[in-house]
Structure 1
Amino acid sequence: MPPLLIVLIALAIIFDFLNGVHDSSNIVATMISSRAIRPQVALFMTAIAEFSGPFIFGVAVANTIGHEIVASENLNMVVIIAALLSAIIWNIMTWLLGIPSSSSHALIGGIVGAVAIGAGFQEIHMAGVLKVLLTLFISPIVGFVAGVIIANITYAASWKASPKINGVFKKLQIVTSLGLALS
């Protein structure tokens, strides 16, 4: 096995581990803090769901990166190693400083930067980059509006409910958290 491939695999494993450290706590936090499920079970279920996600839903994000953001012929081992290193460093810095950050966006930024330096800015498909940036800015707004609507509907539907409704909410927390982990 070529040494560069060994380095790439090692960095991919490190990135995946840091992605779990950086992002997975957000998925399990509500399940654990509300005592909907024991921490060990929550972590195990989340790990299985995150591993299974690409097999169930496919690799649309990877295809977007490989075809819509940069020309796929520019994605060689050196570019991927540079992208992984930059995303790893960014994840560690934001984790240590307590700054919320997306590992996926860090990796996309690393790929765009590595391709820009390695092959030139002309190899970056700006329409794909704008698609990612637009999603980055629109997602919080859509999430906020959907959250307000769902919270109001939930509050109205459960306003006079008995305390037994908490059991239903705990089960729903597990379902939504696993849905997040799968995605």
Structure 2
Amino acid sequence: MDPFLLMVIAIIVALLFDVMNGFHDTANAVATVIYTKALPPQVAIGMCALMNMVGPFLLGTAVAKVIATSIIPPERLTIAIVIAGLMGAIIWDLITWYYGLPVSSSHALIGGLVGSGLAAIGISGVKLGGLTNIVLALFISPVVGIALGLAFMYLIGRFIISRMSRERAHSIFKRIQVLSSAAVSLTHGSNDAQKTMGIIAMFVAVTYNSTPVIEPWIVVACAAAIGLGTAMGGWRIIRTLGERIGKEELSPSQGFAAETATALTIAVGSHIGAPISTTHVISSSIVGTVMAGGTGVLNKEVVLNILTAWVLTIPVAAVGAAISYFALKLVGI
């Protein structure tokens, strides 16, 4: 196949993954603000889409550079490997969306790249040092989310809610929760859209035998794709985060605490180039806010199902990517 045509096809697949990422992860920012009734659903999703588009332009491209250079050795990279990795991630995202499970598109993408790299090259097809650092960041971030969610909820309850009526506290946090929700969307766009930027930079580098560079047109295309996916809304996962993690619906103060914890964690990750999962951080932050009221109010069955899906994400995406790679080879790609 003509190398340029193959690159174009690959970029389209990457942007489809970016759309799926936005669709799958809409819940990250809007579940809390919808279920606390701080914003109507369509307004919340529209704001989320806009902030996801703006995010990549404000917080740099450090994450994209990590994705482009730290998983598969650039000199061993082929477009078929990356397309297969994306396909493995898309398949897992679709499965988990159907079951309403808030899993990480970041984990799925990394698992997909690992699976296709191993299928194509073997153990030398994966940079173990770079992969270790990425996976470490992905696993530490939920712990940070729980801790910050719990801490923020404790501070809010101790110093704000205890000093006013419940109704007044709800009214105040409904208003300021709009800002915290926007901050989550902004940081989600900055971190998650960058992963696809790194992928597209790989395609261009392979086609023209050059070093991966994050060009301005890549930033624009990925920002638009993730914004489009976000605007479509992922209602199955929104319901899980808004209704099912706790045995009671989230309060506005819980929503604010979880969103603030998430936005802070993701902003730091984007700044240092750590491709962490917004899904994992917001889910764990919500768990932290619920735990502030006692672990007895957690819906443990739902939390266990989510954790199981998290554990399965990398291996299942890797297997899907490996199968996709062999299928691509059969059709001559």
TM-score normalised by L of structure 2: 0.51
The equivalent of 1:159 in structure 2 is 162
Secondary structure, aligned partner of 1:80:
helix
Q: CA deviation at 1:175?
A: 1.8
Q: CA deviation at 1:28?
A: 0.5
Structure 2 matches for 1:11-160, cutoff 5 A? 11-157=13-159, 158-160=161-163
Q: CA deviation at 1:150?
A: 0.9
Please identify runs of 4+ aligned residues in structure 1 that moved more than 4 A.
Answer: none
Q: 2:116 & 2:102 partners in 1: Cα distance?
A: 23
Render the CA deviation track for 1:136-174: whole Å, top value 9, x for unaligned: 222222211111111110001121214333233123322
The equivalent of 2:11 in structure 1 is 9
Say whether the 8 Å CA contact 2:71–2:113 is kept in structure 1: no
Counterpart of 1:175 (choices 165, 174, 179) is: 179
Secondary structure, aligned partner of 1:69:
coil
Say whether the 8 Å CA contact 2:25–2:102 is kept in structure 1: no
Q: CA 1:37–1:98 in 2, change beyond 3 Å: closer, same or farther?
A: closer
Q: CA 1:172–1:73 in 2, change beyond 3 Å: closer, same or farther?
A: farther
Q: 1:51 & 1:14 partners in 2: Cα distance?
A: 15
Say whether the 8 Å CA contact 1:66–1:75 is kept in structure 2: no
Gaps of 5+ in 2: 188-333
Q: 1:11 & 1:68 partners in 2: Cα distance?
A: 21
Render the CA deviation track for 1:86-124: whole Å, top value 9, x for unaligned: 111111112223333111111111112222222332242
Amino acid paired to 1:141: V
Secondary structure, aligned partner of 2:38:
coil
Q: 2:89 & 2:121 partners in 1: Cα distance?
A: 19
Q: 1:171 & 1:177 partners in 2: Cα distance?
A: 11
Q: 2:58 & 2:75 partners in 1: Cα distance?
A: 27
Instruction: Tell me which moved more, 73-82 or 44-53.
Output: 73-82
Question: Pairwise CA RMSD of aligned residues?
Answer: 2.0
Say whether the 8 Å CA contact 1:91–1:103 is kept in structure 2: yes
Amino acid paired to 1:35: K
Q: 2:143 & 2:69 partners in 1: Cα distance?
A: 27
Q: CA 1:6–1:143 in 2, change beyond 3 Å: closer, same or farther?
A: same
Q: 2:49 & 2:78 partners in 1: Cα distance?
A: 29
Q: 1:76 & 1:180 partners in 2: Cα distance?
A: 34
Q: 1:168 & 1:38 partners in 2: Cα distance?
A: 17
TM-score normalised by L of structure 1: 0.88
Gaps of 5+ in 1: none
Q: 1:100 & 1:74 partners in 2: Cα distance?
A: 33
Q: 2:101 & 2:46 partners in 1: Cα distance?
A: 26
Instruction: Tell me which moved more, 18-27 or 147-156.
Output: 18-27
Q: 1:45 & 1:75 partners in 2: Cα distance?
A: 37
